[in-house]
Amino acid sequence: MLAFFRRNQVLLTSFFCVLLSLYILSAAARGHLRGDPVGPLLLALMRPLQIGAQLTALKAREIQQGYWNLLRMASENERLKARITELEAERSRLQEVEATNRRLRELLEFRSQLPPRSITAAVIGNSASTWSRSFVLDRGSEDGVARGMAVVSPVGVVGQVVAVAARSTKVLLIADPHSGVDVIDQRSRARGIVSGSFDGAPTMKYTKRSEDIQEGDRLITSGLDGIFPKGLLVGTVTKARKKTFGLFQYVEVGLAVDPYRIEEVLVVSAEAPQGR
């Protein structure tokens, strides 16, 4: 029996206190504690317990209310995060639409300076080969594209059509070593052929040592190759060096168009050359 009381002394003590509190409250309500010296003492002893129980209950309600508020705030926070993500996506989409519209407007304005049969096209693929610098357009023979036509942009010359399918076209870029654009120096009128390279910058070939070529000179199409209309920007001279021997000087060129950043182009023929 003693072992039972020891094992359950906390439970038994709590139970006794609860019974005693109920007895005192009941007796006080009936007025039986008048003149009883023990009653007031017990009430005084039980008062801290009652206050503590009341405060504990209030604190528990506050904690519960705070928990529910926290859940509501977490839910609202997730909803706002989702909304912010949606707005950011919409903002990116609108910025892309605006950028595309701006490029197309520039392309249409530039088109008015070119032969009437110019064809607008979009780049849909780049060459995966390290030995060929080219890309693919979304227009083909059904759209009027033919082999040998020039590919240009408002910034300058891009390349030349080398293969045509019904709904697609392969363009050899002027950065490719197998390409060649007949150009003239806009300042000195010196001529040459701009061609790309695999291991360095594009160069202007076949320029005589006697020609006046300086860094910063703009090189434009001559229109004499029968491919590119006259007056389109090809690039700028970045280095000019006259060798101590040979017929030609060494000229490096910075191309006007970065072929790997362009998205829309115009496919044109060289008929009716126009200056810029």
According to the model, what pLDDT value does residue 27 have?
A: 60
Distance of CA 158 to the CA centre of its chain: 25
Q: Is 204:254 a contact under the CB 8 Å cutoff?
A: no
The helices-and-strands tally (H runs, E runs) of the chain is: 3, 12
What is the distance between the alpha carbons of residues 202 and 241, in angstroms, rounded to a whole number?
Answer: 14
- The 10s digit of each residue's pLDDT in 231-256 is 899 999 999 998 778 889 999 999 99
Q: Where are the beta strands (DSSP E) in 30-152?
A: 119-126, 134-137, 150-152
The answer to pTM > 0.85 is: no
Quickly state the pLDDT bin for 73 (edges 50, 70, 90). Answer: confident
Q: Is 229:150 a contact under the CB 8 Å cutoff?
A: yes
Q: Which of 97-106, 117-126, 128-137, 212-221 reaches the highest mean pLDDT?
A: 212-221
The pLDDT > 90 percentage for the chain reads 35
According to the model, what pLDDT value does residue 7 have?
A: 65
Q: Name the residue among 173, 175, 268 with its Cα closest to residue 230.
A: 268
- The 10s digit of each residue's pLDDT in 96-119 is 777 777 766 776 666 666 666 788
Q: Is the pLDDT at 55 greater than 50, yes or no?
A: yes
Angle at 114 between CA 109 and CA 117, to 5 degrees: 105
Of 5-14, 69-78, 141-150, 183-192, give the lowest mean pLDDT range: 5-14
